[in-house]
């Protein structure tokens, strides 16, 4: 499971780099076409918005995988050993349930509805289901990361479960 986690982290990092590069190039073109060519591009604002959606959701999933996201450690700060691992497991289970139910389940339903209704974006003519696909994809990544963390906690490997912090 640890190899899967690392492979998924690398894949997400590469996707984030590509999305960020595309966003920068898109915005540079928007500025150039507006202020230099004096004919603003009609699709750049919409494309930037959709790239930002994908970047934010995949970046959030990457943050969960690398344990670099914002965490509330109020309840675990004073705990040690089995109690701390138990609390971390409870948090991972809550994240897993949310990601599976809301992001994967709800995201797939959202995609299905938008594809069924044939909704498209105004400027690009892109089917909005492709934009909304970021939600279940990011959710599935979070589910995999949560399962890997739970498996590491079960094995007693605190460093694998929480790479950014050592649990004593």
Domains of the chain, residue spans:
2-161
Alpha carbon 84 to chain centroid, angstroms = 26
Cβ-contact 1, 153 below 8 angstroms: no
- The pTM score is 0.89
Q: Is the pLDDT of residue 154 over 60?
A: yes
pLDDT category at 163 given cuts 50, 70, 90 is low
Instruction: Please give the sequence-ordered ranges of beta strands (E in DSSP) within the chain, or none if there are none.
Output: none
* Alpha-carbon distance values, 163 to 2, 132, 166 (Å): 11, 30, 7
| pLDDT tens figures, 92-142 | 999 999 999 999 999 999 999 999 999 999 999 999 999 999 999 999 999
Q: State mean pLDDT over 157-166.
A: 54
Could you tell me the two tokens for 45?
A: 């604002």
Q: What is the dihedral of CA 134, 137, 141, 147, to 10 degrees?
A: 130
Confidence at residue 162, expressed as pLDDT on a 0 to 100 scale:
57
Residue whose entry in the numeric block shows the structure tokens 């960020």: 20
Who has greater pLDDT, 73 or 68?
68
**Residue 55: in which H helix or E strand, if any?**
helix 44-66
Q: What is the pLDDT of residue 8?
A: 97
Q: What is the pLDDT of residue 166?
A: 43
């Amino acid at each position: 499971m640890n190899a899967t986690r690392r492979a998924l982290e690398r894949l997400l990092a590469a996707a984030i780099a590509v999305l960020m590069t595309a966003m920068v190039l898109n915005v540079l073109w928007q500025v150039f076409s507006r202020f230099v060519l004096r004919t603003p591009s009609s699709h750049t604002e919409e494309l930037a918005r959709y790239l930002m959606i994908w970047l934010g959701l995949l970046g959030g999933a990457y943050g969960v995988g690398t344990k670099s996201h914002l965490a509330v450690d109020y309840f675990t700060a004073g705990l040690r050993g089995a109690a701390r691992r138990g609390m971390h497991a409870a948090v991972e289970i809550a994240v897993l349930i949310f990601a599976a139910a809301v992001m994967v389940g709800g995201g797939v339903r959202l995609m299905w509805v938008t594809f069924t209704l044939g909704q498209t974006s105004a400027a690009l003519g892109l089917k909005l289901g492709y934009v909304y696909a970021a939600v279940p994809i990011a959710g599935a990544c979070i589910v995999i990361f949560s399962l890997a963390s739970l498996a590491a906690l079960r094995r007693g490997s605190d460093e694998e479960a929480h790479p950014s912090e050592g649990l004593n």
